[in-house]
Amino acid sequence: MSDKLLAFDTSTEHLSVAVRHGDRVLAHSGVGGAQASSTLLPLIRQLLADAGLALAELDAIVFGRGPGSFTGLRTACSVAQGLAFGAKVPLLPVDTLLAVADEARHAFGAQRVVAVLDARMDQLYAAHYDFDTAGPFGGDPEPLLLAPEALEVPPGWALAGNAFTAYGPRLATATARHEVLPTAAAMLRLAPALLAAGRTVPAAQAWPLYVRDKVAQTTEERAAIKAAAAVPPNPA
């Protein structure tokens, strides 16, 4: 019975932490980004204390493994590893896009969801999830990294995530669009099925899911891209 769980996500500019103790769920969300590394541990301690739980009592620690911000993913994985090593608690990594899809399902009733997160550099992270056919196991084998115009939304599917402000007019039409983020509460909802499927990992294997290997360009690369863009096209 997995009724004592800690979950957290720092993959976006928002930080989300939640604790389940039986039927009781305590959650906190706030500013993430660069602040997550300094605020995550104090928030975890506070929520555990409020829930009347010690770290070693947890059945599992659930964390968002990515894709998302490289710094945020490193923060989540390092905190998860440190807590698990110290308390000897198993870790449950959850794909952040799956958490986005579940949040859309929970808040809006969407059962077939294309989940997207802003990957910056004019790209999206994306994955398709069909809860009607396979529950949390009905997603793409690997998250996609693509330009907004390349995203395909099947007829009748909802589009959910945080990419609408940046790329809204460039995204495919969808039955519905839901502005949602990956949340710790979504991860708690997903945890029982994932735990039953044996998805836990030891602390040493709490690795981030990096879809893009490179997040920055050198000065020379930026200059070359700018120069190439300034060259007029050859006349037909």
Q: Enumerate the domain spans of the chain.
A: 1-231
In one-letter notation, the amino acid at residue 209 is: L
Query: What local confidence, expressed as pLDDT, does residue 211 receive?
Result: 87
Contact criterion met (CB below 8 Å) for 38 and 44: no
pLDDT one digit per residue (tens) for the chain, 236 residues: 579 999 999 999 999 999 999 999 999 998 776 777 788 999 999 999 999 999 999 999 999 999 999 999 999 999 999 999 999 999 999 999 999 999 999 999 999 999 999 999 999 999 999 999 888 887 888 999 999 999 999 999 999 999 999 999 999 999 999 999 999 999 999 999 999 999 999 999 999 999 876 444 434 434 443 454 444 444 43
Give the residue from 54, 48, 62, 8 showing the smallest Cα distance to 30.
8
Residue 217 is predicted with a pLDDT of: 40
Calpha distance 159→165 (Å, rounded): 13
- Which residue, chain included where needed, has tokens 């490289």? 70
Bond into 67 cis (ω within 30) = yes
d(CA 68, CA 9): 10
108 contacts 177 by C-beta, under 8 angstroms = no
Per-residue confidence (pLDDT) for residue 213, from 0 to 100:
60
CB 174 within 8 A of CB 156: no
- Angstrom distances, CA of residue 40 to CA of 13, 16, 44, 218, 220: 13, 9, 6, 31, 36
CATH code of 1-231, in short, is 3.30.420.40
What's the one-letter identity of residue 207? W
| Bridge partners (DSSP) listed for residue 159 | 114, 177
Contact 141, 186 (CB under 8 A): no
Query: Measuring CA to CA, which residue among 126, 42, 122 is closest to residue 79?
Result: 42
